[in-house]
Chain A
Amino acid sequence: MAKSSEHSETVIGSSIKVEGNFVGHGNIIVEGRVTGSMKTDQDLRIVPGAVVEADVEARNVFIAGDVRGNVKAHDRLELTESAKVSGDVQAKVVSIGAGASLNGKCTMLGAEAAVEEPGGDPIRERAKSRGSRPVEVA
């Protein structure tokens, strides 16, 4: 039996386009085209071939398609090898696959900014004053 608390899932198929400010309360899967903005308190998945010209915000964001806009993931952001993102991204955890394209600023959310000794790394000092942590690339 279906649970009464289960949110409806949205699927934007490849045969439609959505324009405007879309706000959902369940998972969203984008296979087609979206323009404007998109927000949900659950997960957002943008599959290969999808084109999103919008700012997006979700709990977890999985990108395998084309996003032209800012991305905010309250928990995890994952970019696969086919992902192309032109815009700023924010997340607590970021995973970027080899071959993904990201053109924009990347800001890590949550956790206290790193505590630095005076005269320490200037980049960390600027990040601390903004209340965020810089991305660390291995």
Chain B
Amino acid sequence: MYAYLYDAFLRQPKFGARLARIEGRLHDLGIHGKIEKLTLLKSFKELAEAAIKRGAETIVAVGDDQTVSKIIGVIAEHNVTLGIIPFGKSTRVAEFLGIPEGVAACDVLSARIVEQVDLGRANDTYFLSFLQLAPAHELILECDGGKFHIEPVRGQHSVIVYNFGPAGRDPRDGVLETVISREPAEPGGLKLFRGRPSGRQSVVPIKHMRIKSFKGSLPAYADGQTVVKTPLTVSVAPRKLKVIVGKNRKFV
């Protein structure tokens, strides 16, 4: 049974015609289901939990990367599958998973190729793509249970922990890539992985890491939106999320 969760921005009239075509295609394919729309009164977490209680086995996020990010925490804790119908400007997650925009996304849902991918976890918050720390001078990263630690030297550094990489790093490999850059770096910037990083950048794969700041508490952004603060325990949750993917996904 499918449940469709629409993000709030889809109420804009410009999305009306596209949504109607998509809903028609879902009916034709026999995978239509209850549609719930995000409102001020109900969060995505509440909508998803209610759908799961009603027996939904697949929760489809209709929206952009932020829409997906809002739902994964609930989906990860229940034995359900995530589907995506991408809308909006920021749909890198869908692109990485091989899910096209428009009506073609319905065909991907119908084909139902399911992969179990890793999630990252920062304290109690799950993230799908990346976790970015605010730039800082003094940080210490204790890795893999304290076996080794990393300290930036000289100047301000940014730290981004990737689960999905822009270069198509396998999201099932059971590790997170920590990129430490001397100057602040754009998340998802393709230059980070094209060719070898310069001496200003370091890439360290980890499974578990504790991030501490020497001066107060630093904010960090999970998938560009949810704020968590140091000290942080960052770890990989291997194969935690079941997600429907397309044939053109960026990993085999």
Contacts and interface: CB of A to CB of B under 8 A. Distances in A.
A62 to B, nearest CB: 14
A21 B152 contact: no
A20 B144 CA distance: 11
Q: Which of B182, B199, B252 has the most CB of A within 10 A?
A: B199
Interface in A1-45: 1-4, 6, 8-24, 26, 29, 31-33, 36
B230 interface: no
Nearest to B182: A15
B201 A11 contact: yes
A36 B251 contact: no
11 contacts: A1-B252, A2-B167, A4-B170, A10-B205, A13-B202, A14-B199, A15-B155, A15-B200, A16-B152, A17-B153, A31-B199
B180 interface: yes
Contacts of B167: 2
A11 B169 CA distance: 15
A48 B32 CA distance: 61
Nearest to A11: B203
Contacts of B151: 16-17, 19
Interface string B167-186: 11110110101001010000
A33 B148 CA distance: 13
Contacts of A33: 153
A23 B170 CA distance: 20
A13 B199 contact: yes
B205 A15 contact: no
Nearest to A14: B199
A135 to B, nearest CB: 32
A60 B145 CA distance: 27
A54 B149 CA distance: 14
Q: Is the interface of B mostly helix, strand, loop or mixed?
A: loop
A43 B144 CA distance: 21
Contact of A2 (B152, B153, B170, B204): B170
B157 interface: yes
A101 B77 CA distance: 57
Contact of B168 (A1, A18, A19): A1
Interface string B188-206: 0000000011111111110
Given A14-B199, A19-B151, 18 more contacts: A1-B168, A1-B252, A2-B251, A4-B173, A8-B169, A8-B177, A11-B197, A13-B198, A15-B153, A16-B151, A16-B157, A16-B180, A18-B204, A19-B149, A20-B147, A21-B148, A23-B147, A32-B202
A12 B168 contact: no
Nearest to B142: A20
Nearest to B139: A16
B154 interface: yes
B252 A13 contact: no
B251 A1 contact: yes
Contacts of B169: 2, 8
A18 B148 contact: yes
Contact of A12 (B147, B170, B173, B202): B202
B202 to A, nearest CB: 4
A29 B203 CA distance: 10
A54 to B, nearest CB: 10
Given A22-B148, A36-B148, A14 B200 contact: yes
Given A10-B203, A10-B204, A15 B250 contact: no
A15 B180 contact: yes
